[in-house]
Amino acid sequence: MPREPKASVTSSPASPVSITSADVARLAGVSRATVSFVLNDTPGHRVSAATRTRVLDAARQLGYVPHAAARSLRAGRSNLVLMPASVSAIGRLVSDWVDDLHSELDRHGYTAVLHAGRFTDPLDAARAWAELRPAAVIALDGDRFTAQAAELLSRAGVRGLLAFAARPVAGVHTIGFDHADIGATAAEHLIARGRKRIGVVLPQERGLGTLARPRLAGAESVAARHMATVTPVELAYTRESATALARRWPGLGLDAVFAYNDEYATLLLHALQAEGIAVPDEVAIVGSDDLVLSALQQPALTTIRLDLPSPARVADALHELIETGTTPPVPAVEALLVHRDTS
Amino acid sequence: MPREPKASVTSSPASPVSITSADVARLAGVSRATVSFVLNDTPGHRVSAATRTRVLDAARQLGYVPHAAARSLRAGRSNLVLMPASVSAIGRLVSDWVDDLHSELDRHGYTAVLHAGRFTDPLDAARAWAELRPAAVIALDGDRFTAQAAELLSRAGVRGLLAFAARPVAGVHTIGFDHADIGATAAEHLIARGRKRIGVVLPQERGLGTLARPRLAGAESVAARHMATVTPVELAYTRESATALARRWPGLGLDAVFAYNDEYATLLLHALQAEGIAVPDEVAIVGSDDLVLSALQQPALTTIRLDLPSPARVADALHELIETGTTPPVPAVEALLVHRDTS
């Protein structure tokens, strides 16, 4: 059914004229260079207090905003902290953490921006980030970082390179976060509960593959040591996909599933129950992230709690990296099983 | 219990030397200006094919990345599309939409960045965004935009100003999104189901107040016409807060609640049930967003579906705004009640 647009307006085509530093210079009766010295706090240039006041007054009067890019060109760096991430790949657990980190970075005078560019080649990604000349880059899935990408960023003047990653990368300050640990912790628990045929959910949503594959590999390595099997199971975060999976579940011959995280686990739990499959009697389920709603499911969801380092600690480390090029190690992320009623 | 850091490394203090366009010029045997003409595709300058190849080869060999800021200074604009938002204030519904929008912007050659700065004064916010000289700013909670802020951005050369907002703002292309409609739709439904004493959840999480207050006001305006009452109810997104609210629920004398969105609604549903309060017999519940899990709750959650304009349509509109300064209206967001079993 066609819908009528409502409450929409178009900006007037007669936009205000852009104000440049030349306008400020004209009004203040000084050179453009003097405006630049004053507004960018360029070191090594003496400007009298009276001239300084005149320039600042003119800038205020005209509504002139100094250009961060210009300042960063001159100073060789910006106060941007760039975080490569797609919004939806950040789950509820991490999104609150990211918000707190942004507050902490703000406290240090940095502006946090999420860069949403999508790249298959780590060097292409590094090049796109480098173009913005951030003071630092902090990557949540740092296993995509390469030494070559780090060097490119470093050469572009990016001083802080911080990444959550399973393995150290040359030139990058690494905070240990091995997603294989999560899959291994889930598989160990399920095997200890007597399960032998474990499904591992691979979410079909964009951007989650790089996190899901090591979780699968971690479960596989544990299963191999215990005469258990691991079967990858594809699931999209929709009711239709979950219902389709639940319907073919009996044919899969699985007695347990590690469902990537609590959101997929809850979706699958409800879909299996709707098909009359008993949890945990016929299938045990383990999620990850220990979300607020997980303990409230019927039955309450067994999950894995991830202890992330405090945002304040990470912001301090990043600031020290930018200022000095080095910082003490930040504690690694730990995965802890929380046993409830689905396993 | 103290934890030992593991798998953390510090970047080598001997960082690679920063590469500048002067290095590229030296290697290619040309002037710095020529390097700039080639790498920035500056119009109006003729450079021979041979020189061009020599510059590009030298840049590649040295790993030189052109500076987006320099290009934007020269061209007077960047390809950045800035979206002011905190990651956690974007719910699941909107995060998928934002991701798709970013893909569509990418298709047009723009780089989308989320700006996480927090500001109480809209002018301070506009000034911080303007410093990055984005090509466009697109605001999800555009009711914080002011005409003054729009003018400041416009003067700083920001060509596309797009905002989801209840009311038009001078100089801003508005897509109608009235959160009061959501509260009004919920209240109308609850009153039609015979409820008279409606609680409206105010989430205590940072950044949600600007969306929650108009939803409350919308419910209040409907209630005032129907001899019903509306009571604001504070709730944080934690089990503890939900349990505390459920325990004092009988004293509140409410027979219905509009719970801000489906996440808060699901949390409150479980907490009320755990206290032995029957839903919907004693309390009817309405959420918002129609999340995947909402239909799977026991009882299935009544909710409000929000029809957002397609990301492709919004990206096209933004591109046209940047290129031409004008674009046809984009359809407003519509709120539609989905009646299930909690009301």
Domain ranges for chain A? 21-66, 80-177+309-330, 179-307
Please give the single-letter amino acid code of residue A111.
T
Tell me, what's the pLDDT at B87?
73
Chain A contact set for B127 (CB, 8 A): 65
Report whether the peptide linkage leading into residue B250 is cis, meaning its omega lies within 30 degrees of zero.
no
Please check whether residue A47 is in contact with residue A38, taking contact to mean a CB–CB distance below 8 angstroms.
yes
Region A287-305: mean pLDDT is: 94
Suggest the residue from B8, B138, B208 to mutate for an interface test with chain A (most A CBs closer than 10 A): B8
Comparing B80-177+309-330 with B179-307, is the CATH topology the same? yes
Please check whether residue A141 is in contact with residue A164, taking contact to mean a CB–CB distance below 8 angstroms.
yes
CA-to-CA distance for B171 and B160, rounded, in angstroms?
10
Please check whether residue A295 is in contact with residue A342, taking contact to mean a CB–CB distance below 8 angstroms.
no
Tell me, what's the pLDDT at A220?
98
Nearest-CA distance from B317 to chain A in Å? 11
Chain B contact set for A329 (CB, 8 A): 5, 8-10
CA-to-CA distance for A94 and A111, rounded, in angstroms?
19
- The phi, psi pair for A8, rounded to 5°, reads -115, 135
Strands B284-286 vs B229-235: parallel, antiparallel or unpaired: unpaired
Suggest the residue from A3, A4, A6, A11 to mutate for an interface test with chain B (most B CBs closer than 10 A): A11
Tokens of A295: 């303990």
Q: Please write the tens of the pLDDT for every residue from B298-330.
A: 999 999 999 999 999 999 999 999 999 999 999
Nearest CA in chain B to A106: B117
Q: Is B206 on the interface with A (CB under 8 A)?
A: yes
Please give the single-letter amino acid code of residue A176.
G
Chain B contact set for A138 (CB, 8 A): none
- Please tell me which of A4-8, A56-60, B338-342 the model is most confident about, judged by mean pLDDT: B338-342
Q: Is B10 on the interface with A (CB under 8 A)?
A: yes
Nearest-CA distance from B285 to chain A in Å? 17
CA-to-CA distance for B145 and B126, rounded, in angstroms?
9
Please give the single-letter amino acid code of residue A247.
R
DSSP readout, A172-211?
SEEEE--HHHHHHHHHHHHHHTT--EEEEEEE-STT-HHH
CA-to-CA distance for B289 and B303, rounded, in angstroms?
7
A233 bridge partner residues: A201
Query: ipTM of this model?
Result: 0.77
Order across the sheet with A256-258: list the strands.
A229-235, A197-203, A256-258, A284-286
Number of helices followed by number of strands (H, E) in chain B: 12, 11
Suggest the residue from A65, A120, A340 to mutate for an interface test with chain B (most B CBs closer than 10 A): A65
Please check whether residue B17 is in contact with residue A182, taking contact to mean a CB–CB distance below 8 angstroms.
no
Q: Hey, are the CB atoms on B70 and A69 less than 8 Å from each other? A: yes
CA A261, chain centre distance (Å): 16
- CB burial readout A3-23, b (16+ within 10 A) else e: eeeebbbbbeeebeeebbbeb
Cα B80 to Cα A232, B112, B308, B309, B319: the distances in Å are 39, 6, 23, 22, 12
Chain B contact set for A239 (CB, 8 A): 292, 295-296
CA angle in degrees (0–180, nearest 5) for A200-A180-A203: 40
Order across the sheet with B80-84: list the strands.
A173-176, A160-165, A136-139, A80-84, A111-115, B111-115, B80-84, B136-139, B160-165, B173-176
Strands A80-84 vs A136-139: parallel, antiparallel or unpaired: parallel
Q: Please write the tens of the pLDDT for every residue from A203-235.
A: 998 778 888 999 999 999 999 999 999 999 999
Element (H, E) at A153: helix A147-155
Q: Hey, are the CB atoms on B96 and A88 less than 8 Å from each other? A: yes
Alpha-carbon Rg for chain B in angstroms: 26
CA atoms within 13 A on the CB side of A208: 24
pLDDT band at A116 (very low <50, low <70, confident <90, very high): confident
Beta-carbon count within 10 A of B235 CB: 22
Nearest-CA distance from B330 to chain A in Å? 6
Superfamily of domain B179-307: Response regulator (3.40.50.2300)
Nearest CA in chain A to B90: A87
Cα B284 to Cα A180, B196, B260, B302: the distances in Å are 43, 11, 14, 9
Q: Is A5 on the interface with B (CB under 8 A)?
A: yes
Q: Please write the tens of the pLDDT for every residue from A233-285.
A: 999 999 999 999 999 999 999 999 999 999 999 999 999 999 999 999 999 99
CA B119, chain centre distance (Å): 15
Q: Is A50 on the interface with B (CB under 8 A)?
A: no
Cα A268 to Cα A158, A221, A237, A264: the distances in Å are 43, 24, 9, 6
Chain A contact set for B95 (CB, 8 A): 87-88, 90
Among A168, A125, A165, CA closest to A149: A125
Q: Hey, are the CB atoms on B8 and A330 less than 8 Å from each other? A: yes
Name every residue whose Cβ is closer than 8 Å to that of residue B60 and which is 6 or more positions away in sequence.
none
CATH of domain A21-66: 1.10.260.40
Name every residue whose Cβ is closer than 8 Å to that of residue A324 and which is 6 or more positions away in sequence.
none
Number of helices followed by number of strands (H, E) in chain A: 12, 11
Q: Give the right CATH number for A80-177+309-330 from 3.40.50.300, 2.60.40.10, 1.25.40.10, 3.40.50.2300.
A: 3.40.50.2300
The residue ranges of chain B whose pLDDT is under 50 are: 1-16, 73-74
CA A288, chain centre distance (Å): 17
Region A111-118: mean pLDDT is: 87
For chain A, give the longest Cα–Cα distance. 83
Tokens of A140: 């949540």
Q: How high is the mean pLDDT of chain A?
A: 87
Residue A33 pLDDT exceeds 60: yes
CA-to-CA distance for B267 and B125, rounded, in angstroms?
33
Tell me, what's the pLDDT at A5?
41
Nearest CA in chain A to B236: A292
Element (H, E) at B47: none
Chain B contact set for A102 (CB, 8 A): 86-87, 116, 118
Tell me, what's the pLDDT at B67?
61
Tell me, what's the pLDDT at B70?
54
Which residues 232-271 of chain A have a CB within 8 Å of chain B? 237-239, 263, 266-267, 270-271
Tokens of B232: 């604001």
Region A9-19: mean pLDDT is: 48
Name every residue whose Cβ is closer than 8 Å to that of residue B249 and which is 6 or more positions away in sequence.
B272, B275, B277, B283
Tell me, what's the pLDDT at B146?
92
Q: Hey, are the CB atoms on B13 and A87 less than 8 Å from each other? A: no
Please give the single-letter amino acid code of residue A220.
E
Share of chain A above pLDDT 70, in %: 89
Q: Hey, are the CB atoms on B8 and A68 less than 8 Å from each other? A: no
